[in-house]
């Protein structure tokens, strides 16, 4: 069980002097002192002397099966995510060797008061779009308004706490923030791409198009063969190539992405040398798929690269608006129904470790018993927290065994459900005292996780739970804001 830490405890803000009411800084962090001072020359993990040149070819990013649009900011159409990866600069960029720190790119400095009622960014006058036009505060204002009015729901939700955005001159923009928006919110705003207002005068923001987008980032669109491939090459006049945040980065001259609807076909294309690098997401392919001649001859090198980044969270998210799932006993019973040990050994070739935190592999991961300071904060919420949070080290309650049906876990799950008032009837289905059936639905948009979900749902049915697994069209799940690879249960 993760310990709950209050935002007020975590929000450690920086000031130029102890008595300063407004902070002006080259960087921003919600969690502690900045690692890099104003005169830093490059991030420690970047090599400013790295060799440059060549083309990196690889499979499409994030497993997106196809694309018919280059407008990556709206829900309509299937866009190529690589456009957002290479073509747009943001006000600030993240440092990947700090928990939550950003440093200026388009913005030279950020200003904010201790109460975070606003954040102002002072833009670099040399910032330019690829057509040579300057990046101005009015472009930032246009970006924010377009994203929250016509953008993907992700952006609309993210920007809900922006009360107002105003250009206070050509190179200064101010955001008024809602009370309680959170100490990370200025950083969320600073990471958004800045879009050119003049480009969208002829290319409607809320429509799909294959027109090459205009950005201010290190790469420009060189070639598009929708939906097969897309290629980006360096902008020789990139305005920010010498900034410290870019030192040692953007080393390839070009990036090419090859699209494959079927990942197995994509692996076969890689084995034939159609592209040069592949990030493998399928444990079965990693374990058994690299036995082709090029790999056997040593022309392909398999590498496991520990990158020390926060671990991605993959799982089943509970829809807590459903009354049945508000009972922690029901949620724990569902956890006992999932046999991780057997799933990992049988389906994933032992490739995975089970996480016990949404902040796995970070300084924010709860480890050990609560400290005195943490206990002081938790105490105010004791009546709403599980008692073990005060006395036990955070851990996954039960790992499972290497057989498909874990009888010990299922007995405990059955006990919890009965204790929660869900009793098995003569027909083998659980109902509460009002006669309501214990029913859950698991929506998903692909068949890739069926091998995981089928044994899990069979375990739940054996407990008397009425389970429905629904395949939904990707666009419907996008509209509902469900984007995890294992969907929200409810």
On whether residue 65 sits in a domain, the answer given is yes
On whether residue 145 sits in a domain, the answer given is yes
On whether residue 192 sits in a domain, the answer given is yes
On whether residue 14 sits in a domain, the answer given is yes
Single out the residue in 192, 212, 234 at which a domain terminates: 234
pLDDT tens digits, 313-351: 778 888 999 999 999 999 999 999 999 999 999 988 888
Question: Mean pLDDT over all residues of the chain?
Answer: 88
Cβ burial of 307 (10 Å; 0-12, 13-18, 19+) is exposed
On whether residue 254 sits in a domain, the answer given is no
350 and 203 within one domain: no
Domains: count for the chain = 2
Given this model, what pLDDT does residue 251 score? 97
Task: Tell me the torsion sign for CA atoms 14, 91, 364, 480.
Answer: positive
Q: Residue range 38-55: average pLDDT? A: 97
pLDDT tens digits, 343-402: 999 988 888 888 878 888 887 888 889 999 999 999 999 998 989 889 988 877 777 788
159 and 16 within one domain: yes
Q: Residue range 203-209: average pLDDT? A: 97
25 and 170 within one domain: yes
Residue 11 pLDDT greater than 50, yes or no: no
Identify the domain containing residue 448 by its residue range: 317-354+396-489
pLDDT tens digits, 101-151: 999 999 999 999 999 999 999 999 999 999 999 999 999 999 999 999 999
**417 or 281: which carries more pLDDT confidence?**
417
**140 or 405: which carries more pLDDT confidence?**
140
462 and 337 within one domain: yes
What CATH number is attached to the domain comprising 134?
A: 3.40.190.10
The whole-model pTM stands at 0.75
On whether residue 473 sits in a domain, the answer given is yes
Residue 8 pLDDT greater than 50, yes or no: no
Given this model, what pLDDT does residue 14 score? 36
Q: For every residue of 284-330, which 3-state class applies, written as one string? A: HHHHHCCCCHHHHCCCCCCCCCCCCCCCCCCCCEECCCCHHHHCHHH
Q: Residue range 234-262: average pLDDT? A: 97
Single out the residue in 234, 254, 282 at which a domain terminates: 234
On whether residue 188 sits in a domain, the answer given is yes
Single out the residue in 234, 252, 273 at which a domain terminates: 234
324 and 418 within one domain: yes
pLDDT tens digits, 145-199: 999 999 999 999 999 999 999 999 999 999 999 999 999 999 999 999 999 999 9
Given this model, what pLDDT does residue 445 score? 65
pLDDT band per the 50, 70, 90 thresholds, residue 211? very high
d(Cα 127, Cα 238) in Å, to the nearest integer?
9
On whether residue 312 sits in a domain, the answer given is no
Given this model, what pLDDT does residue 2 score? 36
What CATH number is attached to the domain comprising 419?
A: 3.10.105.10
179 and 33 within one domain: yes
Separation of first and last alpha carbons in the chain: 21
């Amino acid at each position: 069980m993760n310990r709950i830490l209050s935002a007020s405890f975590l929000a450690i803000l920086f000031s130029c002097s102890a008595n300063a009411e407004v902070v002006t800084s080259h960087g921003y962090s919600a969690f502690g002192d900045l690692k890099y001072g104003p005169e830093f020359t490059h991030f420690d993990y970047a090599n400013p002397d790295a060799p440059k040149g060549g083309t990196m070819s690889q499979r499409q990013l994030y497993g997106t099966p196809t694309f018919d649009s280059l407008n990556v900011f709206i829900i309509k159409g299937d866009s190529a995510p690589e456009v957002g990866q290479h073509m747009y600069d943001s006000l600030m960029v993240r440092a990947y060797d700090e928990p939550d720190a950003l440093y200026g790119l388009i913005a030279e400095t950020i200003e904010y008061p201790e109460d975070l009622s606003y954040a102002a960014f002072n833009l670099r006058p040399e910032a330019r779009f690829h057509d040579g036009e300057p990046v101005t505060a009015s472009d930032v204002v246009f970006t924010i308004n377009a994203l929250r009015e016509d953008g993907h729901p992700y952006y609309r939700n993210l920007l809900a706490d922006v009360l107002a955005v105003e250009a206070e001159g050509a190179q200064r923009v101010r955001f008024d923030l809602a009370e309680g928006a959170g100490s990370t919110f200025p950083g969320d705003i600073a990471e958004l791409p800045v879009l050119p207002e003049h480009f969208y005068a002829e290319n409607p923001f809320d429509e799909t198009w294959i027109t090459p987008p205009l950005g201010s980032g290190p790469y420009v669109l060189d070639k598009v063969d929708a939906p097969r491939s897309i290629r980006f090459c360096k902008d020789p006049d990139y305005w920010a190539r010498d900034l410290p945040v870019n030192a040692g980065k953007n080393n390839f001259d070009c990036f090419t992405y090859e699209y494959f609807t079927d990942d197995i076909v994509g692996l076969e294309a890689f084995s034939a040398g159609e592209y040069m690098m592949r990030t493998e997401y399928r444990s079965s392919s990693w374990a058994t798929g690299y036995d082709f001649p090029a790999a056997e001859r040593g022309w392909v090198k398999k590498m496991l690269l520990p990158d020390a980044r926060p671990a991605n969270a993959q799982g089943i998210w509970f829809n807590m608006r459903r009354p049945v799932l508000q009972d922690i006993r029901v949620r724990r019973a569902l956890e006992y129904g999932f046999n991780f040990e057997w799933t990992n050994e049988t389906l994933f070739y032992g490739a995975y470790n089970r996480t016990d935190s949404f902040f796995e592999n970070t300084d924010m991961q709860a480890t050990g018993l609560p400290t005195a300071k943490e206990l002081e904060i938790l105490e105010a919420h004791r009546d709403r927290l599980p008692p073990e949070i005060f006395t036990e080290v955070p851990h996954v309650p039960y790992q499972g065994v290497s057989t498909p049906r874990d009888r010990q876990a299922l007995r405990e799950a059955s006990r919890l459900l009965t204790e929660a008032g869900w009793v098995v009837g003569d027909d083998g289905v659980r109902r509460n005292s009002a006669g309501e059936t214990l029913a859950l639905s698991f929506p998903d948009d692909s068949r890739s996780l069926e091998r995981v979900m089928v044994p899990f749902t069979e375990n739940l049915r054996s407990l008397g739970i009425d389970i429905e697994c629904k395949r939904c069209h990707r666009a419907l799940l996008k509209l509902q804001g469900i984007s995890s690879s294992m969907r929200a249960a409810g």
